[in-house]
Structure formats: C-alpha cells, structure tokens
Amino acid sequence: MASDKRRHIPDDHPIRRLFRSVTEMSFEQIDLRDRDVMRYVADLLVEFVHIDNLFRVRDAHGKRLEYLTDMLIELTEQGPIDERETRKHIGDYAMFIVGLYPESLTRRRRAVSPEYYIAQGKESYLIVAEMDRSKPTESLFRKLSAQFEYCVTALNIEKTVLQDPFYQYLWRQGI
C-alpha cells in the first residue's frame, strides 16, 4: 500500500533549483531535451530527499518495503485500489536506485541486476500510462518508459557531478 503522506519541499527551495540545474545539465550531455521528462526527474530527486517519500510503499502491517520484489508482491495483494500510485512509485524508485545507487543492488540482502530494476521501472511506467489513457499524464509516462535508460544515464552523470568537490564548492558559493 502506498502511503498518502508525502513530505513536500516548497517550490522556491534552493534544493529544487540545484536539482533542476544539474538535471538540465545532465540531460543536455546525453542530448535528451524533453522538458517534461527532465522536470519529472528533477522533481523526483527533490521528492526523494525525504526518506519517507523514498519508502512510501508499505505492507499491510505498515512496514516499509525497500525491495522491488516486495513492492510487486504487495501490489498483487493490495488489488487495484492503489495500483497506479504503487506502479508509479516502483518506476520512480527503480530509476532513482539504478541512476544514483546502482552499487546498492549488489550489496543488498537480495542481490539483483540493474537490468531487472530497469525492466520493472519501464514496465511500471508503461502500466501507469495505460491507466492514464486519455489523460494529460499518459504521454509523460509513456516517454518515461521509453526513455528510462537515458534517464538512468542522466542520473549517473548527476551523481558524478554532485560528488565532485569543485561543483560542491561552486554551489556553496551560490554560483
């Protein structure tokens, strides 16, 4: 079950500007110029600043689920009530983990390949697009599914940039 309680960071917060700037730069480096997808990825990074948002999917007992396999099992048990939100979260979570923390996939209790996360993320976004048929968000989720690997590559670039001491210095100086 996906928790309804999302923690929100204000639109004018500096972390939003930082992630939008770095996401735009990384998308330009891979020549992906889709503004909707770029904004979605930047907003995803901001949303996941709060750990509670990263682990929104919980089991029937309220325990947070940290593995895609557990989220997928919970999805089959919860039925269609929260399916769209859970599927969206699975896509978001898979993109975030493979893009920023792929090394965590082999250190976890259940080691899995990045390809598994990519496949599940793409499929989940495509299912959300199908559920959003004839809604404005349908196109966005189709693009997220189709361009999933590009988004992961952009996030890999962002991780490198965000860890670079030179860029960290520039951001602290407000440049």
Cβ atoms of residues 41 and 95 within 8 Å: yes
CA distances to 11, 39, 85, 157 from 162, rounded to whole Å, are 21, 18, 29, 9
Q: pLDDT truncated to tens, each residue of the chain (175 aa)?
A: 555 566 678 888 888 999 999 999 999 999 999 999 999 999 999 999 998 999 999 888 889 998 898 899 888 877 666 899 999 999 999 999 999 999 988 886 767 899 999 999 999 999 999 999 999 999 999 999 999 999 999 999 999 998 888 877 777 776 5
Token pair for residue 88?
């969206």
Residue 72's nearest CA partner among 41, 45, 93, 99 is 93
Q: What's residue 165's pLDDT?
A: 86
Cβ atoms of residues 65 and 77 within 8 Å: no
Q: What's residue 152's pLDDT?
A: 98
* Residue extents of the structural domains in the chain: 14-172
Token pair for residue 164?
């670079």
Q: What's residue 12's pLDDT?
A: 86
Q: What's residue 3's pLDDT?
A: 52
Q: What's residue 76's pLDDT?
A: 83
Q: How far apart are CA 88 and CA 104, in angstroms?
A: 21
Q: What's residue 60's pLDDT?
A: 83
Query: How many other C-beta atoms are found inside a 10 Å radius of the C-beta of residue 97?
Result: 24
At residue 58, what are phi and psi to the nearest 5 degrees? -130, 155
